[in-house]
Amino acid sequence: KTIFNNIELLPPDSLFNIKQRLANDSRSVKVDLGIGAYRDDTGKPWVLPSVREAEKLIQEDPSYNHEYLGIAGLPTLTQGAARVLLGEDSPALREGRVVSVQSLSGTGALHIAAKFISKFCGDKLIYLSDPTWANHKAIFETQGLKTANYAYWNAASKSLDLEGYLRDIKAAPNGSVFVVHACAHNPTGLDPSKDEWSSILDTLAAKEHIVLFDSAYQGFASGSLDEDAYALRLGLKKLAPVTPVFVCQSFAKNVGMYGERVGCFHLVLPQQDAAVDQKAVASAISSQLARITRSELSNPPAYGAKIVSKILNTPELTAQWYKDMITMSSRIHKMRIALRDHLVKLGTPGNWDHIVGQTGMFSYTGLSPQMVERLEKEHAVYLVNSGRASIAGLNSGNVEYVARAINEVVR
Ligand code: PLP
């Protein structure tokens, strides 16, 4: 008998388990609408042309090597990444109010945020949207933090429950932490409008809540980095005069660096009165973030960081990257329209306009768990049982097939 005999067997991760079932499915036509990773119009993973070019430049460089990075990561990455998020003319950057460290993609950035909050922010409740990305709750709770939900999705109208959202912001204890999706909300694909963001951020500011922007899809939703940073930049104007703002940034989707784990955690400090030595505060925070990384990774991974840094700091590659983001976002948008149009043509019961209105990688289709199960069993169309479909899995070769399958399970 060993000390391990009573370890509980956990169920497989529901999302990654789809991948397994798909691999084991011997049917000739299969469609993967599960995992949120971009596919091209032939259903293949896509290495961005800007990434290919950056890799070439890195490997041709005579100083090419695989040495360790510093603990805080590659400075040309973290600085470039902060400019991408906050904008070239960001007052926070100009005033030295941004502390940045490299992280293991967006998940690692959230982990650093959770660790920092649990260590330095007292006993705060972490508010997550209902629904949210499945990993949010686990990341915060693993650090001993308590999570709660705020209203977000109105299932009946397939739209934002703004009233419930504002009510929950007001009801939360002052100074709570609110995790908001900077754009392309996962899983619903539904973002607040500009006016709605304005009321949401005003209400958050009035309660002096600490806002954490989870930015996993910047440029991937609309094709424009600036457009997709709208909420974050407005948030900094409304919140950062008084409260710190946390930003967790991923380059998994917008640079297609999924498995390379490239991301950053940024802490934007509030404007303080002249009596406070802002520089000393920033240095202390930096040192604490470095301690977290040192004890867990020693230093972050270099290769993907060099690729993204090369793209951000080489004007021709940056220009190519902008085109790449348009290629991805416009193909996904085209697939939204094609799916909706096929469903309408088939006379599928219900209204399917929300598929086109939603943005980013996903659509919250409104399909029930029973319908999702039938899609998989009878048609080899795989999605998560919440009815979330990764639109990137659609292409001109399979979208009509998927529409016919949906049409059949809905009736
Ligand atoms: N946050 C949200 C909302 C996401 O959807 C994802 C990925 O699906 C992430 C964070 C983190 O992804 P990664 O760790 O691959 O950057």
Q: Whose CA is nearest to atom 1 of ligand 1?
A: 216
| pLDDT for 36 beyond 80 | yes
Q: What angle do CA 316, 320, 324 make, to 5 degrees?
A: 165
What is the 106 CA–ligand 1 centroid distance (Å)?
5
Peptide bond into 11 cis (omega under 30): no
Q: Are strands 153-154 and 159-160 parallel, antiparallel or unpaired?
A: antiparallel
The per-residue pLDDT for 2 is 87
Classify residue 175 by burial, with Cβ atoms within 10 Å: 0-12, 13-18, 19+: middle
Give the rounded percent of residues in the chain with a pLDDT score beyond 90: 93
pTM value is 0.97
**Do residues 117 and 126 touch, judged by C-beta distance below 8 A?**
yes
The per-residue pLDDT for 16 is 85
132 CA: nearest ligand 1 atom: 3
In this predicted model, what pLDDT tens digit does every residue of 42-97 receive, in sequence order?
Answer: 999 999 999 999 999 999 999 999 999 999 999 999 999 999 999 999 999 999 99
Task: At 390, list the tokens.
Answer: 């990764």
Q: Are strands 159-160 and 388-390 parallel, antiparallel or unpaired?
A: unpaired
252 CA: nearest ligand 1 atom: 16
Pocket of ligand 1 (CB under 6 A): 36, 105-107, 133, 181, 186, 214, 216, 250, 252, 263
Predicted ipTM? 0.99
In this predicted model, what pLDDT tens digit does every residue of 294-349 receive, in sequence order?
Answer: 999 999 999 999 999 999 999 999 999 999 999 999 999 999 999 999 999 999 99
How many of the other CB atoms lie within 10 Å of CB of 168? 20
| pLDDT for 1 beyond 80 | no
Q: Hey, what's the torsion of the CAs at 293, 269, 99, 280, to 10 degrees? A: -90
What distance in Å separates the CA atoms of residue 149 and residue 165, rounded to the nearest whole number?
A: 10
**Do residues 336 and 354 touch, judged by C-beta distance below 8 A?**
no
**Do residues 301 and 314 touch, judged by C-beta distance below 8 A?**
no
How many of the other CB atoms lie within 10 Å of CB of 6? 7
Q: What is the mean pLDDT of residues 245-258?
A: 98
Candidate of 19, 110, 133, 258 to mutate for ligand 1, largest count of ligand atoms within 8 Å of Cβ = 133
The per-residue pLDDT for 122 is 86
In this predicted model, what pLDDT tens digit does every residue of 172-201 receive, in sequence order?
Answer: 999 999 999 999 999 999 999 999 999 999
What distance in Å separates the CA atoms of residue 381 and residue 405, rounded to the nearest whole number?
A: 8
First vs last C-alpha separation in the chain = 54
Q: Please identify which of the residues 214, 306, 321, 324 carries the catalytic annotation.
A: 214
What is the 258 CA–ligand 1 centroid distance (Å)?
9
Q: What is the mean pLDDT of residues 257-269?
A: 98
Q: Whose CA is nearest to atom 7 of ligand 1?
A: 216
The per-residue pLDDT for 241 is 85
Q: What is the mean pLDDT of residues 9-27?
A: 91
The per-residue pLDDT for 149 is 98
3-state secondary structure of 116: helix
In this predicted model, what pLDDT tens digit does every residue of 118-145 receive, in sequence order?
Answer: 999 988 999 999 999 999 999 999 999 9
DSSP per residue, 13-74: PHHHHHHHHHHH---S--EE-SS---B-TTS-B---HHHHHHHHHHHHSTT---PPPPTT--
Q: Which residues pair with 171 in a beta bridge?
A: none
